[in-house]
Amino acid sequence: MRTAQKIVDQSYYNAKDHKDKGLSIKRARTTLAKLNLDELDMSAKDQATIKAAIATLDQVAETFMKAHRIKDKQEKLREERRAAAKKLVLASDFAKLSSVKDKVALIAMECFYRNEIHTVKTVFDAKYLLVYTFENTLHAISYSVAQQEGDMSKSLSDAWKKFQEKLPNLYVKHAVVVANIENILATETKKI
């Protein structure tokens, strides 16, 4: 029989899934335990088999409940690490970026959001990109930092250095996009 730790290590289920499975097995065990074996027309061997099944179900249910506790602890630690990483990123130089060209450069570096910089056509699009998409990019950075082993401050520092190295090329590569966004925002300012 697999141990609780092996169940956690060899599955993608979350803590609730393990708990649900353990409770389901407990319900099956309770159903068997409620049978009045003396009233049933069963041999002693069959009754012993049912009693052994009850004992086995007890073991299996407890194993899944242990898996639930292990996974729950892992999930809480992961969430604490992600919260700490988010706090680090929001206090870092990444969050202090304020110019359009810096924000566009950072967004362009994140694969998931890269295409959004090319779809800006309205003031709403520009503001959405510079606020919401920028915040999502910071969130993606914090997630990445939290996933890495070791000191998160060092991982964040390394990410900043990598960004700084690529920044001149990103400025050149996305100069047209930046100019477009600045023109759209300038048009809105003139209307007011």
Tokens of 38: 């003396």
The answer to whether residue 109 scores a pLDDT higher than 90 is: no
The answer to whether residue 174 scores a pLDDT higher than 90 is: yes
Average pLDDT over residues 28-43: 84
> For residue 92, which of 165, 128, 53, 145 has the smallest C-alpha distance?
145
Distance CA 102, CA 110 (A): 13
Cα–Cα distance list, 149 to 14, 16, 112 (Å) = 21, 26, 22
| Predicted confidence (pLDDT) per residue in 118-167, tens digit | 889 999 999 999 999 999 999 999 999 999 988 999 999 999 999 999 99
Mean pLDDT lowest among 33-42, 63-72, 102-111: 33-42
Amino acid at 177: V
Per residue, the 3-state secondary structure of the chain, as one string, reads CCCHHHHHHCCCCCHHHHHHHHHHHHHHHHHHHCCCCCCCCCCHHHHHHHHHHHHHHHHHHHHHHHHHHHHHHHHHHHHHHHHHHHHHHHCCCCCCCCCHHHHHHHHHHCCCCHHHHHCCCCHHHHHHHHHHHHHHHHHHHHHHHHHCCCCHHHHHHHHHHHHHHHHHHHHHHCHHHHHHHHHHHHHHHHHC
Note the pLDDT of residue 1.
67
CB neighbour list of residue 56: distance below 8 Å, 6 or more residues apart: none
